[in-house]
Amino acid sequence: MPEAIPDGLLDLDRIVATKFKGKKVPGFVVRFMKRFVHQDWMNNILSRGYQGADFCDDTLSRMGVTIEVEGLENVPKNGTLYTFASNHPLGGVDGLALCSLITRNFGPMRMLVNDFLLYIKPIAPLCVPINKVGGQARDLPRMIDEAFASENHLLMFPAGVASRKIDGKVQDFPWTKTFITKSVSNGRSIVPVHFVGRNSARFYRADWLFRKTLKLKFNIPMLFLPDEFYRAQNKTFKIILGKPIPPETFDKSRTALQWAAWVREQVYQL
């Protein structure tokens, strides 16, 4: 019998037993999965007892990740509540780095997220989970409204998933409009954020195979994100902050979806 893993840590034996009740999954398959998601390494990080921004700082330090920041002077610290709208090239380290940056420089924040970051339990105090499946779906509108009406700065990845290779370039899928409509209705300025980085070539090949070739709708590349998180060790990434865009900018001259595309363009021009 494998040694019991405490609650809150990654336990593939438990996950497999739950997902495949009554079915025998070969041991070599589970062992491969553990190696692929780096279960022991991940649990070493998750078990250190840090929470929130402290966890983000500790994890980035232990991973040897260096973050360079440009444009911090563009964002006044004058009590304005901001929505930080960022591209999402990595699906893991970018979220940790931005949570740390915003908290340390601007104060309390929450991140609206629906990908791999949801499974990193120590950052749960910073997260508003917005996955659209399961029992939580009915509460999603209320949770989003409460987040935008709160006194916290918000971080959003409007693409909803990590960037893919599109037209030969690593970039986000089209951005959704929620960050525009909710920021405007709550008087929040939007800060465009460009996180400079990319995942491995294997990640984009997997996306091409499953999404474009096999036409699978399930987000298969998300299963590769723990390994991409592991591969980010000892790398340097850059965060570029643009100037805040006041809510009155987003008038009726464009639809909310068109304004979202416009902000996306501003991000990639930083």
| Residue pLDDT, tens place only, 207-241 | 888 776 766 565 666 778 888 999 999 999 999 99
Q: What is the pLDDT of residue 179?
A: 97
Asked whether residue 140 falls in the same domain as residue 262, the answer is yes
Q: Has residue 52 been placed in a domain?
A: no
The better pLDDT of the pair 14, 186 is held by: 186
Q: Has residue 79 been placed in a domain?
A: yes
Asked whether residue 36 falls in the same domain as residue 99, the answer is no
From 13, 10, 169, 168, select the one nearest 89 (Cα to Cα).
169
Q: Which domain, by its residues, includes 231? A: 67-269
Asked whether residue 43 falls in the same domain as residue 71, the answer is no
Q: What is the pLDDT of residue 238?
A: 98
Q: Has residue 56 been placed in a domain?
A: no
Asked whether residue 109 falls in the same domain as residue 12, the answer is no
pLDDT-derived band at 137, boundaries 50, 70, 90:
low
Asked whether residue 18 falls in the same domain as residue 89, the answer is no
pLDDT-derived band at 1, boundaries 50, 70, 90:
very low
For 48-77, letters b (16+ CB in 10 Å) and e give eebebbebbbbbbeebebebeeebeeebee
Asked whether residue 30 falls in the same domain as residue 125, the answer is no
Asked whether residue 126 falls in the same domain as residue 174, the answer is yes
Q: What is the pLDDT of residue 200?
A: 93
Asked whether residue 110 falls in the same domain as residue 202, the answer is yes
Asked whether residue 123 falls in the same domain as residue 202, the answer is yes
Tokens representing 31?
Answer: 């062992």
Q: What is the pLDDT of residue 128?
A: 87
Q: Has residue 236 been placed in a domain?
A: yes
Q: What is the pLDDT of residue 42?
A: 84
Domains held by the chain: number? 2
The better pLDDT of the pair 101, 14 is held by: 101
Cα–Cα dist 221/92, whole Å = 13
Asked whether residue 29 falls in the same domain as residue 74, the answer is no
Q: What is the pLDDT of residue 45?
A: 86
